C-alpha cells in the first residue's frame, strides 16, 4: 500500500459544478479545521483560460455561495494554496505545462478526476506522458465510470495501465455520508442487532432514494443514463451491500470491500415482473406545478426517471428475504432511507385480551435528516377493563441531537481527506464496480427482451401504481410516511 500523505492535490474539472458546490468548500472547511498539511498545494485545471488570481477569485465566489459562514475562517490562507493551469485534456501537448505547474512533490501527488467519461483515456495518457502517474501518485475517479460492464472495463483498463489498484480511489459520495458509516457502527458495534440480522428475524428490507428535482442542468447526461444507471448501479447497491454484508474481520479497506463484493456477486439475476420503470409527467411538487420529463427534454424518450426492483441476495444469511429498491425524480419528498422490517412475533400472549401486535421496524434515515428510528410495542396506560391495548412506540436517535456540537460535514470532506492520506476503506474497488454492472446489465437486457417501456406517473407522486403493486403482491407496503 502507498503510505504517504500527498503534498500536492491536482483537481481536474476545477471550474465545474462539483468543484464549486462540493470540492472547493470541502477543502476550505478541512483547512479551517487544521486538517490539511501546511505544505499541501492545490492545483486546479480545466479548459477555461484563467490566471492563478482569476481562479482564486472564482474559488472565493464559490466558497461565499456554498460554504456556511462559520466554516470560512482563514479563507485567505486557503486561497493562497490554490493555483491554476488551463488544459485541453483531448491533446497531449498541455500536460507538460501542467506538470511544471504541479512541481515536484516532496511526498506525493493526489489527483481528483471529475471529467466526462470520454476524456478518461486521453487524460490518463497525458498524465503518463508528463510523468504524473509515478509510484507516488494516486488518483480519485468520480462517477460515472462507464454505462455498462464493457465500457466500465475499458475505463478501468485505461486507468490500470498507469495506476495500480492500491492507488485508484473510485468515489461513491454516499460512502462519505456520516449515517451510511453509522450503518456499520449500528450493525457491528452493538450486540443486539447482529444475532437477528438474518432471514430468521428479518422479513424484508426497503431502500429508497427519492428526489423532488427534475432534470435541472443534467439533461443530456441523464437521458443517456436513466435512474437505473444513475442511482441503482452505484449508491443503492452500495447501501444494499452495507446492509447485507457479513461482519468483516477488521475496519480496513481490504476486509470491508471483500465482504461487499461477496454480497454483490450473490445478487440473483432479476426476472420478468421484478422491476417497474416510470417517467414523470407534469404535476405539482410542494404546491408548485412542474413540467413533465418529455417537456423538459423537448422530445419523447424511453429513459426511466423511476425504477423499483425486487432483489434477492442468494446466500445463507438472506435466503428468502426480498430487498425492495426504489428511486426516482419528481417524487413527493427528498429522502434516502433504509427500512429493516422484522418478522412478527411467533405467538402473542395478548391476543386473548384483544391486543394487536405489530412487527418491529428499524428505519435508518440518511438524508435529509440523519436519524435511526426503531419501533417497539408498548402497553397503552390504563386499567384495561376493556382489554389490553398495545401501540408501537418510537425509539428515536437523531444524530444531530445525539452529537450536539459535532460539525455537520460535507461527504466530500472525508473522501478528499482519505484520498490525500491514502485510506481506501470508503472507496469502491474494481471488482465491486464490475459486479454491480454485471447485475445492472442483466436488468437492462431483461427490459430489452420484454420490450419494457416506462409507465407514466404524475410529478409529486410515489411513481407508477405498478411500483406499489410490486410490493403489495407480497403483502408489503412501501414506507412513505
Query: Catalytic positions, please?
Result: 235
- Give CA–CA dist 305/214, Å, rounded: 9
Q: Is 143 annotated as a binding residue?
A: yes
- Give CA–CA dist 312/205, Å, rounded: 10
Q: Is 211 annotated as a binding residue?
A: yes
Alpha helices in 67-216 (DSSP H): 75-80, 95-102, 120-129, 149-160, 178-188
| CA 245 to centroid of chain Cα atoms | 17
Where in 187-271 does DSSP place strands (E)?
202-210
For the CA atoms of 416, 421, 425, 427, the dihedral, rounded to the nearest 10 degrees, stands at: 40
Query: Containing H/E element for 27?
Result: helix 24-32
Query: Containing H/E element for 412?
Result: helix 411-421
For the CA atoms of 131, 133, 137, 142, the dihedral, rounded to the nearest 10 degrees, stands at: 130
How many angstroms separate the Cα of 56 from the Cα of each of 82, 83, 112, 336?
7, 7, 18, 35
Q: List residues bridging with 308 in a β-sheet.
A: 276, 326
3-state secondary structure of 391: strand
Query: Containing H/E element for 400?
Result: helix 399-402
β-pair type (275-281, 335-342): unpaired
β-pair type (371-379, 390-398): antiparallel
The three cell numbers of residue 457 are 406517473
Q: Is 100 annotated as a binding residue?
A: no
Question: Which residues are part of a known binding site for substrate?
Answer: 173, 177, 211, 230, 329
Write out the binding residues for NADP(+): 47, 143
Amino acid at each position: 500500500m502507498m503510505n504517504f500523505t500527498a503534498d500536492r492535490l491536482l483537481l481536474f474539472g476545477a471550474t465545474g459544478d462539483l468543484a464549486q458546490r462540493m470540492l472547493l468548500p470541502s477543502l476550505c472547511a478541512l483547512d479551517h479545521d487544521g486538517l490539511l498539511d501546511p505544505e499541501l498545494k492545490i492545483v486546479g485545471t480545466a479548459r477555461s483560460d484563467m490566471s492563478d488570481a482569476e481562479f482564486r477569485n472564482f474559488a472565493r465566489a464559490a466558497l461565499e455561495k456554498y460554504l456556511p459562514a462559520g466554516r470560512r475562517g482563514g479563507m485567505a490562507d486557503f486561497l493562497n494554496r490554490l493555483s491554476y493551469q488551463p488544459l485541453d485534456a483531448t491533446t497531449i501537448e498541455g500536460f507538460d505545462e501542467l506538470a511544471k505547474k504541479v512541481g515536484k512533490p516532496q511526498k506525493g501527488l493526489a489527483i481528483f478526476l471529475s471529467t466526462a467519461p470520454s476524456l478518461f483515456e486521453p487524460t490518463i495518457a497525458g498524465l503518463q506522458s508528463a510523468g504524473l502517474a509515478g509510484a507516488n501518485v494516486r488518483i480519485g475517479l468520480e462517477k460515472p465510470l462507464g454505462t455498462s460492464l464493457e465500457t466500465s472495463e475499458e475505463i478501468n483498463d485505461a486507468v490500470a495501465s498507469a495506476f495500480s489498484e492500491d492507488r485508484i480511489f473510485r468515489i461513491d459520495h454516499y460512502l462519505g455520508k456520516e449515517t451510511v458509516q453509522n450503518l456499520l457502527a449500528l450493525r457491528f458495534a452493538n450486540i443486539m442487532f447482529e444475532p437477528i440480522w438474518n432471514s430468521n428475524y428479518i422479513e424484508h428490507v426497503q431502500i429508497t432514494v427519492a428526489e423532488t428535482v427534475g432534470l435541472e442542468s443534467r439533461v443530456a447526461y441523464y437521458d443517456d443514463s436513466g435512474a437505473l444507471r444513475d442511482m441503482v448501479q452505484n449508491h443503492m447497491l452500495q447501501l444494499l451491500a452495507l446492509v447485507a454484508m457479513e461482519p468483516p474481520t477488521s475496519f480496513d479497506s481490504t476486509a470491508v470491500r471483500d465482504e461487499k463484493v461477496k454480497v454483490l456477486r450473490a445478487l440473483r439475476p432479476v426476472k420478468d415482473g421484478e422491476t417497474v420503470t416510470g417517467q414523470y409527467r407534469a404535476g405539482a411538487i410542494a404546491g408548485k406545478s412542474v413540467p413533465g420529463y418529455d417537456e423538459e427534454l423537448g422530445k419523447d424518450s424511453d429513459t426511466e426517471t423511476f425504477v423499483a426492483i425486487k432483489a434477492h441476495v442468494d446466500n445463507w444469511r438472506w435466503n428468502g428475504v426480498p430487498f425492495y429498491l426504489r428511486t426516482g425524480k419528481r417524487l413527493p419528498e427528498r429522502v434516502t432511507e433504509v427500512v429493516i422490517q422484522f418478522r412478527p412475533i411467533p405467538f402473542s400472549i395478548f391476543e386473548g385480551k384483544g391486543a394487536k401486535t405489530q412487527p418491529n421496524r428499524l428505519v435508518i434515515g440518511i438524508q435529509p435528516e440523519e436519524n435511526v428510528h426503531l419501533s417497539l410495542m408498548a402497553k397503552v396506560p390504563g386499567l384495561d377493563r376493556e382489554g389490553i391495548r398495545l401501540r408501537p412506540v418510537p425509539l428515536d436517535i437523531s444524530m444531530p441531537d445525539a452529537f450536539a456540537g459535532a460539525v455537520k460535514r460535507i461527504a466530500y470532506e472525508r473522501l478528499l481527506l482519505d484520498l490525500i492520506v491514502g485510506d481506501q476503506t470508503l472507496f469502491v474497488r474494481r471488482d465491486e464496480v464490475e459486479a454491480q454492472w454485471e447485475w445492472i446489465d442483466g436488468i437492462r437486457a431483461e427490459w430489452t427482451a420484454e420490450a419494457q417501456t416506462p409507465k407514466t406517473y404524475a410529478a409529486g407522486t410515489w411513481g407508477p401504481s405498478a411500483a406499489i403493486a410490486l410490493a403489495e403482491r407480497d403483502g408489503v407496503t412501501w414506507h412513505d410516511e
